[in-house]
Every structure is written in C-alpha cells, then in structure tokens.
Amino acid sequence: MAVPVPSCRQTVYTRGVCAVPLRKDREEDEVATKANRRAAGPDSGRRVAPELRQVDPGMATAMQRSVGNATFGRMIAQGPSGPKVPHAALGTRGKKRAQDEVVERGDSPPANQQKTEAGAATRATRSGKAGATPSVKGKEKRVEEEIGNPTLVFTSGYDGDAEQSLNGNNDIGFEQTATLRRADGMQTPAADAYDFWQEVSDESRQIVPTSENYQPKKAPRRAWGVDGPFRPPYNDEDGNIINAADRITFVDNPGFSTSTRMSAGYFLVDYTVRFRWKVRKKQGGRFTKAEPFWESDEMVHRVTSAFDADNPEEAVRVNHQAAGNRTWNVQLPN
C-alpha cells in the first residue's frame, strides 16, 4: 500500500529536498507578516520605526524622574506627532521601580550608601565608609556618674530610766540614728560615693564611790573626735552601721546605757553630749578627715538629776532632753 506524500505547496525545499516545515518556522513567518503590516504609518504612507511609540506628558514626566533629564533627552525623537521614546525606555522605567520597591522593603540602604543621622544618604568613600559617620573602635569608655548632693536625716530620743539612785543599777542614755541618703536618681552605692563620719564631744559630773561628802567629780569637755566605728569603711558586722545601696545609717546609743550602765555607788548629776556629721565626695584611697567637707550643725543631748546628800538612798527623777530630729540638704563642696 502506497504512503501518501504531502503536497509541495505545503512544503519548503532544503538542499533540493521537499520537506514539511516545522511549527517554529510557521510562527516566525506569521510574526514577520504582522510586523510588516504595523510598519505602515497612517500619514500619507509614512513609516514609523516599530521601536518608537507616542509618549504623553504624564509619561514623559515620570520618565524624567526615573532616568534623569540628560538620559531622557537623548531618548526623545521629535516627529510630526510630538515626542516619541524607544520601547526599551519603558522597560528601564519598570525595572527601576522594581528596584526601588526592593530597597524600601529592606532593613538597610544599598551597599554603596549609608544613612546619616538626619536620614539622608551619603555616598561611600573609597574606604567604603561614609565620611560623615566616623567609626568607633574598641569598647565604649564608661562615663562616671556625677555624684549629687545627699540628704542627712537625724532622729533621736531618750532611752533610759525615769529615776536613778546611788545604789541602783541605772540605765541613762539616748538612742539616735543618722542616715545619709544618696542623691535621687543615682546608681552608685552610697558607700562608694561619699565619705561620711560622725564626731562627738561630751562632758559630765557624777558621784563616784571615792567622792568626799558626795561631791560630784567633773569630767571636762572633750575635744571633738571621730566617734568610734562611725566612719568609713562602714563596718556593719556589729549592727552599729547599716550599709545599704542607697544609704548609710549610723545607729548609736550615747550615754550610760546598754553595755555601759550606772552601777551601784555611782550617780549621774549631769551629762551633756554633742554630735555633728561631716560629708564629702569620696576621694578614693584611705579615709582621712582632710577638707573640703560639708559639716552639720551640732545636736545636743542633756541629762540632769538633783542628788539629795541628806537622803543618799532616795530615788531621784532623771530630767532629760534629747536633741530631737533634723534633716539637712547637704551641699557638697567642689
């Protein structure tokens, strides 16, 4: 049985051989034919290049912003129907818009730019670093906190017996606290910021077992001196000092009380004790009393008791006057 052969009207000849054309060849022929039909212009048979198309003013403005005035000027072709632009320019404009969108969605500017503090972009230098933004190398140096003026709060009261007698075991004294609070907003511990110390001076008269005819023995006023443990380095092991982050508190019991009492054969006729406090910015190193420092007013406790020599065994009232309470806004010297 014979095999049908396609007509040569449906074939093309290659090297003298009749062959069936491929589908791709037919599509290319159709495209070429349509292109030739579009090439004919509407005006008197004039022909317009297929790569040019009409541009309206809005498109022209958009293209100027996209590619710049100079580039846009080179792309424009003046003709009877107004400015025209190559089709390739439209593709460029679309491509740039896509690039801008990617940058806007990103977390950082392009690799060759760097934002300034004002939000604008500066072109990178040859070293790759923007000149307006210097680099910082190494660890940032810690800025020392400014030491502000603290507050000193003093409270006191009488803490002893209402009466005393020559042969009694009498408790006569005061209780007091002096609290230095660091300035508001500070983070530096108070013990690291301030040198704070307490000074004392006292005098008394008392009857002792060796007194003749119950004559009081006088202890003259002592010069001002640092009062025992109430100074740096604020040893808080015995409970006399509370060393907290925001404050330093001196807890004191001046007088003849607690561990020191008026034992049998002793009678306290009068007793005066004075206190003051000094504060300065911590200078570092070993504690000294050197100036400059801020100094408080004197706070004074007093006790008097009228002994009756004719009735030495009689209990007698204790008259007491505590220094009271006081608050100072400390003004540290420079």
Token couple for 11: 């074939």
Cα-flanking dihedrals φ and ψ of residue 10, to 5°?
Answer: -100, 15
Q: Which residues pair with 175 in a beta bridge?
A: 157
What distance in Å separates the CA atoms of residue 39 and residue 69, rounded to the nearest whole number?
30
CA dihedral 130, 131, 132, 136 (to 10 degrees): 80
Dist. CA 182–CA 249, nearest whole Å: 11
pLDDT digits (tens), the chain, 334 positions:
444 444 433 333 333 434 444 444 555 555 455 545 444 444 444 444 444 455 555 555 555 444 455 444 555 544 444 444 333 333 333 333 333 333 333 322 333 333 333 444 333 333 334 444 444 444 444 467 899 999 999 999 999 999 999 988 899 999 999 999 999 999 999 999 999 999 999 999 999 999 999 999 999 999 999 999 999 999 999 899 999 999 999 999 999 877 778 889 999 999 999 999 999 999 876 788 888 999 999 999 999 999 999 999 999 999 999 999 999 999 999 7
Cis ω on the peptide bond leading into residue 292 (within 30° of 0)? Answer: yes
The SS3 assignment for 109 reads: coil
Reduced to 3 states, what is the DSSP secondary structure of residue 46? coil
Q: Which residues contact 314 (CB under 8 A, 6 or more apart)?
A: 165, 308
Non-local (6+) Cβ contacts of 48 within 8 A are 39, 41, 79, 84
Decide if 169 contacts 257 (C-beta within 8 A): no
- Amino acid at residue number 202: D
Say whether 76 sits in a helix, a strand or coil.
coil
pLDDT of 76: 53
125 contacts: CB under 8 Å, gap ≥ 6: 131
| Closest among 320, 328, 326, 154 to 249, alpha carbons compared | 154
